[in-house]
């Protein structure tokens, strides 16, 4: 709309009959150009929470007219001006009405990364300096609508890294970089501070579009630049800024191969495997077997165990009985045999596998490799197999993203019957870890199912559009072999996460879960971020959602309870938040999510 | 169970085979006695949130065994011991599992009205002296389950009236009165302090059962009492306490007739009328017409208006044109004619009614009363009627519980066409009011529908099991006649309710709405509690639920926004909470609840 347009004035002048054109002609672009190249910009004067009722009603009318015009042109998105002042309820109500009644148009709410101090003088707004809170209030009022996202206004001042980090869990679509946050380099050209550079790199990593905005404040730049095309005079005044952004993009390290491989999985929710109830498919075995790093760790663990168990002087006479329980198509059999070869120890291997389809491949492998004398294949569930002898070493790979979530404890309990009293289990222990995260994308994907079940399910997911709000903490630990039959596999843990003061308030959409396993002594394997085994791709993290996201204040404690519950036919988790406010109990009696025994 | 029973000890002794009987025989009572007369009492030693894992697991096992035994006996309810210490998450998880998997048994959680200070010495528990917070945490973890309720332990110390008041919005089923909170009267008999007495009266009014518990600390009472039955020696030692409670009950004022009539409507949600879209039934007219007080107020208003409009000297020559718009079966016609008679003014009455069925009754009434010369019946919607002349006075009764919610503004806008420039509207204005309430019963009834629509609907309801958390505040005002056509009927109001400091924290399940109308000058009519017209029964309050109850801290501000939105075919409300936390916008675009034009 024309900047001076106000519905209340028009009505007085035009007396209701001849409505004047309220916007320029749409014929300057083709329909497909409008729908693919243009983001609408809603009039920046609108203020739906003004104390002035006329301005408020004018604003609502104009907003709805402009959105209708943008819809008419099939724009993909419109940029909404930042809420003015401290309250945004009426603005949010109006935008929510648009979203509820809408086509697929995205609405990008402008939010300044730091609220300018001189924005407003009254005492109230000083309290609300954190613009994230305005955004949070707005999106809560709009119920986390999936078509509502953020366009961040970047100014010269940046908040703390923790405060910035929150935005990587939010639906940020664009970053509007104002020319006055650029510095001047020795050539008089625009450049950015180190902190701004790393922020921009973060945006690139999260596919956030960069918009350069404002007047050219580096006039020398366009003059000094050597432009071989000779069309120097026609260069856009913001071109030097764009060139610099382009340079930052070019300069980025290429993605490691593993990350590139996992690109398609980013923030994509998968149901965890049910390895006991379902048999894996050949493709799944194929994928997991390619994880070389994992089997190198297993080989190292078996080697160390063999050396501990058989002194050099007995190497030629003593044969170690090693059972691979859950042998699949044989990767741990291979790793174990390689460990024997490496250490010069004699091995007798039982490969126990419950999936008859994998057993077919196992037989073929043994024949192909000529392992017939060493390896005995057993087609049985380890929990029910009557072993002909007891094992020195049990080797298994039954771990899920959250450690015990694929029922490794229950399976190894069953296998422990045929482990010698002083026998070794590889892994010897494993621990799960959790941390609270902002994850609006994941939350919305869960919510899209519109049922309780999906909010009470844990998901395997390559987390990317996520903000980690506190360091991980250990949850459940299992050790094998057990010392006593009395040890139960149910667990209960209360965790207190402290939200750093400089984060500001943040939204917890759920918990990211990981594991770390001790295979044998100092040989470990895991995905807990601070100790993760590099270049391993068998496990993504696990995500436990919250039915209602919980807002946490800076410096506050988030008290979380997790249970591992065991029934006669299934194992499940229950979880809840107890502070700052109590959530409902999630997954009571395993009603929504469980792993069958 | 036997007091010394602990599952962990039994297992060691009995070696799993011969399980000892864990409870006394059920044959002492008949099955129907068990199911109608007995409330089970769960072992008070259980502590599911103990730091001691053995005690925790023993507690869980015992709780589940005892509940199973109570279910076996078809008990209607079990009394659960109060949570010990500051945390109750594991207790709540276990109770929630029972509730989720349950039959219809009620679980009554004991909650001390005031937490004894000597309960625990550690610093943590001192912070949490308010036992309501423990209850709130527990029931949130159990998702407001309708079978979970409260048994309040009453001790000698009582908290502030505001703090006590909260419980009348909660599902309190029983009050356990300890003998040591009784005083001794001059005869050495037990009696209660004034504050305890009024609390007990409050319990009676809310059908809360009273349980007397503890040792007799008034030994003289049983000796001194003159018992005519001569079985003095067999009297139960707590009999004097029970007698005193009985005396308090006897002493209560009988319920006023209106309250008795409304007993069956208490806390029963009704959908508001759609008077424009639907025609009322004869029964409904019948009920409303019996509200004598209302029509006396109307008669007073019309009388005053007539006296103002016609000076005594013109009384015999000037005829006032009075139109009853929405005449129904004629009560306002009658009140107007009585006002004319009372004041000696001459009246010409038009009775405009859109419901053709009511018009039939109107004709009969006019004939019966011999009003043919004075009253003209018009079978038409007031918004479309072409009046043959203009009115001096418009009389209408189009108000709903929330004032404008039955579209009085829109109807009177339509009728204003045939009101003289200086004409009078009765009512001349009306204002709606709101206040936040705790209303767990209403919340659960709304929730039972398991859909969004019911959470975004306003209900007419006789509120009883409700705690009012702050004084009412005015919301929307409409004045008739309007001064200008430009005045719109859409409205927006931001309200800030301050929760009194001595209330403690409380749960807001929604808002109670009322109206007050100025019929003419000082003659008003309304249901706003502080100014309500006595003995009027035409309107119950209105209840606006919240999709997610919001917990408010003592002294905090609850910021609420209400909108009245107008479309071409309907009018609706939207509402939200913006502080202490933002709720979703309720009823966006009137998707769930609206009144048709």
> What is this model's ipTM?
0.89
A262 falls within a domain: no
Q: Is the pLDDT of residue A227 over 60?
A: no
From CA A374, how far away is CA A371, in angstroms rounded? 5
From CA B146, how far away is CA B545, in angstroms rounded? 17
Q: What residues of chain A lie within 8 A of the CB of B142, using their CB?
A: 584-585
Q: What residues of chain A lie within 8 A of the CB of B89, using their CB?
A: 494, 561, 576, 578
A-interface mutation test, from B98, B124, B141, most A Cβ less than 10 A away: B141
- Render pLDDT for A236-286 as a digit per residue (tens, 0 to 9): 899 999 999 999 999 999 988 888 888 999 999 998 778 788 888 888 899
Residue of B nearest to A495 (CA): B89
From CA B231, how far away is CA A495, in angstroms rounded? 60
- Domain with residue A343: its CATH number is 3.40.50.150
- Render pLDDT for A75-117 as a digit per residue (tens, 0 to 9): 999 999 999 988 899 999 999 999 998 778 999 999 999 876 5
- Please tell me if residue B141 touches chain A, with a CB cutoff of 8 Å: yes
Tell whether B20 and B126 lie within a shared domain: yes
pLDDT of residue A276: 81
Residue of B nearest to A574 (CA): B93
Cross-chain Cβ contact A583/B141 below 8 Å: yes
Can you say which residues of B are annotated as belonging to the binding site? 285, 294-295, 353, 381-382
Residue A92 to chain B, least CA–CA distance (Å): 8
Tell whether A48 and A103 lie within a shared domain: yes
A-interface mutation test, from B562, B588, B589, most A Cβ less than 10 A away: B588
Kindly give the residue spans of alpha helices, DSSP state H, lying in B113-266. 123-127, 131-141, 161-165, 194-205, 219-224, 239-251, 257-262
B404 falls within a domain: no
Say if residue A481 is preceded by a cis peptide, omega within 30 of 0.
yes
Structural contact between residues A376 and A536, judged by C-beta atoms closer than 8 angstroms: no
A417 falls within a domain: no
From CA A497, how far away is CA A14, in angstroms rounded? 61
Tell whether A452 and A540 lie within a shared domain: yes
- Please tell me if residue B578 touches chain A, with a CB cutoff of 8 Å: yes
Q: What is the mean pLDDT of chain A?
A: 91
pLDDT of residue B127: 45
Tell whether B446 and B513 lie within a shared domain: yes
Residue ending a domain, choose from B84, B119, B154: B154
Kindly give the residue spans of alpha helices, DSSP state H, lying in A310-394. 331-343, 356-369
pLDDT of residue A224: 47
- Render pLDDT for B24-80 as a digit per residue (tens, 0 to 9): 788 889 999 999 999 999 999 999 999 999 999 999 999 999 999 999 999 999 999
A487 falls within a domain: yes
Quickly tell me which residue has 């010897």 as its tokens: A428
Tell whether A483 and A383 lie within a shared domain: no
Residue A590 to chain B, least CA–CA distance (Å): 9
- Render pLDDT for A425-442 as a digit per residue (tens, 0 to 9): 999 999 999 999 999 999
- Please tell me if residue A258 touches chain B, with a CB cutoff of 8 Å: no
Q: What residues of chain B lie within 8 A of the CB of A140, using their CB?
A: 581-584
From CA B226, how far away is CA B287, in angstroms rounded? 51
pLDDT of residue A127: 45
Pick B585's closest partner by Cβ from A56, A141, A583.
A141
A24 falls within a domain: yes
Domain count, chain B: 4
Residue ending a domain, choose from A397, A413, A442: A397
Pairing of strands B172-178, B209-213: parallel
Residue A139 to chain B, least CA–CA distance (Å): 8
- Residue A502 marked ligand-binding: no
- Closest alpha carbon to A326 in A276, A373, A376: A276
A421 falls within a domain: no
B345 falls within a domain: yes
Cross-chain Cβ contact B89/A494 below 8 Å: yes
- Render pLDDT for A465-510 as a digit per residue (tens, 0 to 9): 999 999 999 999 999 999 887 889 999 999 999 999 999 999 999 9
| C-alpha pair distances (Å), A545 with each of A265, A510, B572 | 18, 4, 34
- Please tell me if residue A587 touches chain B, with a CB cutoff of 8 Å: no
Pick A582's closest partner by Cβ from B140, B581, B585.
B140
Can you say which residues of B are annotated as belonging to the binding site for S-adenosyl-L-methionine? 285, 294-295, 353, 381-382
Residues of B forming the active site: 397, 406
From CA B594, how far away is CA B591, in angstroms rounded? 8
Q: Over range A317-329, report the average pLDDT.
A: 96
- Secondary-structure percent of chain A, ordered helix, strand, coil, rounded to 5: 35, 25, 35
Cross-chain Cβ contact A584/B143 below 8 Å: yes
Pick B89's closest partner by Cβ from A137, A143, A576.
A576
A356 pLDDT tier (thresholds 50, 70, 90): very high
- Render pLDDT for A159-212 as a digit per residue (tens, 0 to 9): 999 999 999 999 999 999 999 999 999 888 999 999 999 999 999 999 999 999
- Domain with residue B14: its CATH number is 3.20.20.150
Structural contact between residues A534 and A293, judged by C-beta atoms closer than 8 angstroms: yes
pLDDT of residue B124: 45
Kindly give the residue spans of alpha helices, DSSP state H, lying in A83-172. 89-100, 123-127, 131-141, 161-165
Cross-chain Cβ contact A561/B89 below 8 Å: yes
pLDDT of residue A120: 47
- Please tell me if residue B494 touches chain A, with a CB cutoff of 8 Å: yes
- Domain with residue B550: its CATH number is 2.70.160.11
- Render pLDDT for A518-557 as a digit per residue (tens, 0 to 9): 999 999 999 999 999 999 999 999 999 999 999 999 999 9
Cross-chain Cβ contact B494/A551 below 8 Å: no
Quickly tell me which residue has 């983001």 as its tokens: A39
Residue of B nearest to A135 (CA): B582
Interacting residues of A63 by C-beta distance below 8 A, sequence separation 6+: A42, A43, A46, A48, A80, A94, A95, A98
Structural contact between residues B402 and B515, judged by C-beta atoms closer than 8 angstroms: yes
- Please tell me if residue B74 touches chain A, with a CB cutoff of 8 Å: no
Axis crossing angle, helix B331-343 with helix B292-309, rounded to the nearest 10: 50
- Please tell me if residue B225 touches chain A, with a CB cutoff of 8 Å: no
- Please tell me if residue A591 touches chain B, with a CB cutoff of 8 Å: yes
- Render pLDDT for A292-313 as a digit per residue (tens, 0 to 9): 999 999 999 999 999 999 999 9
B-interface mutation test, from A92, A492, A564, most B Cβ less than 10 A away: A492
- Please tell me if residue B56 touches chain A, with a CB cutoff of 8 Å: yes
Residues spanned by the domain of B493: 430-596
Tell whether B226 and B313 lie within a shared domain: no
Tell whether A340 and A441 lie within a shared domain: no
pLDDT of residue A28: 87
pLDDT of residue A126: 42
From CA A251, how far away is CA A201, in angstroms rounded? 10
Q: Which residues pair with A492 in a beta bridge?
A: A563
Q: What is the mean pLDDT of chain B?
A: 91
Share of chain A above pLDDT 90, in %: 80
Of the residues A397, A456, A528, A574, which is catalytic? A397
By mean pLDDT, which of A6-10, A269-273, A371-375, B309-313 is the weakest? A6-10
| Burial of B29 from C-beta contacts in 10 A (0-12 / 13-18 / 19+) | middle
B259 falls within a domain: no
Q: What residues of chain A lie within 8 A of the CB of B580, using their CB?
A: none
Structural contact between residues B8 and B57, judged by C-beta atoms closer than 8 angstroms: yes
- Residue A486 marked ligand-binding: no
Secondary structure (DSSP) of B332-397: HHHHHHHHHHHHT-EEEEEEEES-HHHHHHHHHHHHHHT-TTTEEEEES-TTT---SS-EEEEEE-
Axis crossing angle, helix B356-369 with helix B331-343, rounded to the nearest 10: 30
Q: pLDDT tens per residue, chain B (597 residues)?
A: 777 888 887 755 545 554 556 677 888 899 999 999 999 999 999 999 999 999 999 999 999 999 999 999 999 999 999 999 888 999 999 999 999 987 789 999 999 998 765 544 444 444 446 899 999 999 999 999 999 999 999 989 999 999 999 999 999 999 999 999 999 998 889 999 999 999 999 999 999 999 999 998 886 655 544 545 555 557 889 999 999 999 999 999 998 888 888 899 999 999 877 878 888 888 889 989 999 999 999 999 999 999 999 999 999 999 999 999 999 999 999 999 999 999 999 999 999 999 999 999 999 999 999 999 999 999 999 999 999 999 999 999 999 999 999 999 999 999 999 999 999 999 999 999 999 999 999 999 999 999 999 999 999 999 999 999 999 999 999 999 998 878 899 999 999 999 999 999 999 999 999 999 999 999 999 999 999 999 999 999 999 999 999 999 999 999 999 999 999 999 999 999 999 999 999 999 999 999 998
Pair of tokens at residue A534:
């590099």
- Residue A373 marked ligand-binding: no
Structural contact between residues B587 and B576, judged by C-beta atoms closer than 8 angstroms: no
- Please tell me if residue A495 touches chain B, with a CB cutoff of 8 Å: no
- Render pLDDT for A380-418 as a digit per residue (tens, 0 to 9): 999 999 999 999 999 999 999 999 999 999 999 999 999
Cross-chain Cβ contact A588/B494 below 8 Å: no
CB atoms < 10 A from the CB of B22, how many? Answer: 14
Tell whether A464 and A588 lie within a shared domain: yes
Cross-chain Cβ contact A585/B143 below 8 Å: yes
Cross-chain Cβ contact B141/A96 below 8 Å: no
Q: Over range A586-597, report the average pLDDT.
A: 95
- Please tell me if residue A563 touches chain B, with a CB cutoff of 8 Å: yes
Residue of B nearest to A91 (CA): B585
Q: Is B580 left (phi over 0), alpha (psi -120 to 50) or beta?
A: alpha
Tell whether A249 and A322 lie within a shared domain: no
Tell whether A378 and A438 lie within a shared domain: no
Tell whether B228 and B351 lie within a shared domain: no
Structural contact between residues A177 and A245, judged by C-beta atoms closer than 8 angstroms: yes
Choice between A85 and A233, residue whose per-residue pLDDT is larger? A85
- Please tell me if residue B583 touches chain A, with a CB cutoff of 8 Å: yes
- Please tell me if residue A553 touches chain B, with a CB cutoff of 8 Å: no
Cross-chain Cβ contact A576/B141 below 8 Å: yes
- Please tell me if residue A376 touches chain B, with a CB cutoff of 8 Å: no
Pairing of strands B491-498, B106-112: unpaired
Pair of tokens at residue B528:
């706003």
How many A-B residue pairs are in contact by the CB < 8 A criterion? 92
pLDDT of residue B278: 85
- Closest alpha carbon to A383 in A328, A330, A325: A325
Cross-chain Cβ contact A578/B142 below 8 Å: no
- Most distant CA pair in chain A: distance in Å? 107
Cross-chain Cβ contact B492/A56 below 8 Å: yes
Residue B419 to chain A, least CA–CA distance (Å): 26
B-interface mutation test, from A50, A56, A86, A89, most B Cβ less than 10 A away: A89
Tell whether A349 and A453 lie within a shared domain: no
| C-alpha pair distances (Å), B279 with each of B83, B266, B377 | 54, 26, 18
Interacting residues of A459 by C-beta distance below 8 A, sequence separation 6+: A269, A270, A271, A272, A442, A446, A542, A543, A545
- Please tell me if residue B97 touches chain A, with a CB cutoff of 8 Å: yes
Residue ending a domain, choose from A397, A412, A440: A397
């Amino acid at each position: 709309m024309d900047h001076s347009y106000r519905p209340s004035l028009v009505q007085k002048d035009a007396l209701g009959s001849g409505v004047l054109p309220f916007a320029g002609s749409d014929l300057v672009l083709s329909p497909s150009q409008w729908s693919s190249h243009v983001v609408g910009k809603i009039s920046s004067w609108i203020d739906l929470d003004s104390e002035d009722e006329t301005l408020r009603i004018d604003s609502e009318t104009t907003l709805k007219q402009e959105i209708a015009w943008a819809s008419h042109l099939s724009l993909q998105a419109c940029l909404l001006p930042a809420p003015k002042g401290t309250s945004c309820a009426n603005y949010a109500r109006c935008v929510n009405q648009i979203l509820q009644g809408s086509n697929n148009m995205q609405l990008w709410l402008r939010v300044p990364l730091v609220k300018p101090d001189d924005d407003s003088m009254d005492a109230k707004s000083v309290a609300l300096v954190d613009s994230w809170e305005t955004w949070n209030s707005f999106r809560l009022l709009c119920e986390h609508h999936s078509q509502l996202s953020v366009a961040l206004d970047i100014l010269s001042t940046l908040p703390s890294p923790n405060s910035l980090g929150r935005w990587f869990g939010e639906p940020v679509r664009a970053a509007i970089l104002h020319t006055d946050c650029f510095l001047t380099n020795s050539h008089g050209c625009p450049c950015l501070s180190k902190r701004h550079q790393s922020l921009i790199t973060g945006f690139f990593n999260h596919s956030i579009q960069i918009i350069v905005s404002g007047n050219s404040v580096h006039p020398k730049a366009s003059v000094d630049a050597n432009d071989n095309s000779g069309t120097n005079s026609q260069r856009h005044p913001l071109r030097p800024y764009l060139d610099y952004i382009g340079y930052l993009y070019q300069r980025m390290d290429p993605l490691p191969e593993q990350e590139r491989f996992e690109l398609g999985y980013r923030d994509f929710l998968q149901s965890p495997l049910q390895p006991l109830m379902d048999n894996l498919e050949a493709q799944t075995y194929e994928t997991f077997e390619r994880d070389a790093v994992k089997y190198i760790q297993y080989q190292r663990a078996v080697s160390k165990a063999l050396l501990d168990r058989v002194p050099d002087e007995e190497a030629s006479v003593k044969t170690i009985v090693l059972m691979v329980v859950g042998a699949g198509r044989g990767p741990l059999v291979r790793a174990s045999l390689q460990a024997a070869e490496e250490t010069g120890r004699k091995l007798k291997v039982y490969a126990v596998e419950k999936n008859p389809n994998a057993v077919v491949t196992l037989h073929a492998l043994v024949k192909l490799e000529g392992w017939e004398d060493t390896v005995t294949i057993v087609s049985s569930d380890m929990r029910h197999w009557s072993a002909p002898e007891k094992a020195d070493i049990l080797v298994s790979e039954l771990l899920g993203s959250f450690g015990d979530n694929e029922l490794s404890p229950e399976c190894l309990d069953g296998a422990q019957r045929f482990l010698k009293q002083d026998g070794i289990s590889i892994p010897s222990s494993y621990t799960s870890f959790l941390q609270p995260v902002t994850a609006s994308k994941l939350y919305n994907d869960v919510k899209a199912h519109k049922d309780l079940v999906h909010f009470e399910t844990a998901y395997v997911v390559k987390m990317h559009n996520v903000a980690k709000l506190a360091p991980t903490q250990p949850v459940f630990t299992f050790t094998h072999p057990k010392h006593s039959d009395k040890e139960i596999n149910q667990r209960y843990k209360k965790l207190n996460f402290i939200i750093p003061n400089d984060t500001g308030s943040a939204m917890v959409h759920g918990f990211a879960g990981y594991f770390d396993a001790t295979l044998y002594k100092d040989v470990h394997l895991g995905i807990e971020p601070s100790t993760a085994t590099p270049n391993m791709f068998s496990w993504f993290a696990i995500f436990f959602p919250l039915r209602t996201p919980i807002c946490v204040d800076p410096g506050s404690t988030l008290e979380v309870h997790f249970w591992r519950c065991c029934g006669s036919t299934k194992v499940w988790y229950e979880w809840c938040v107890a502070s700052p406010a109590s959530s409902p109990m999630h997954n009571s009696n395993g009603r929504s999510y469980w792993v069958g025994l």
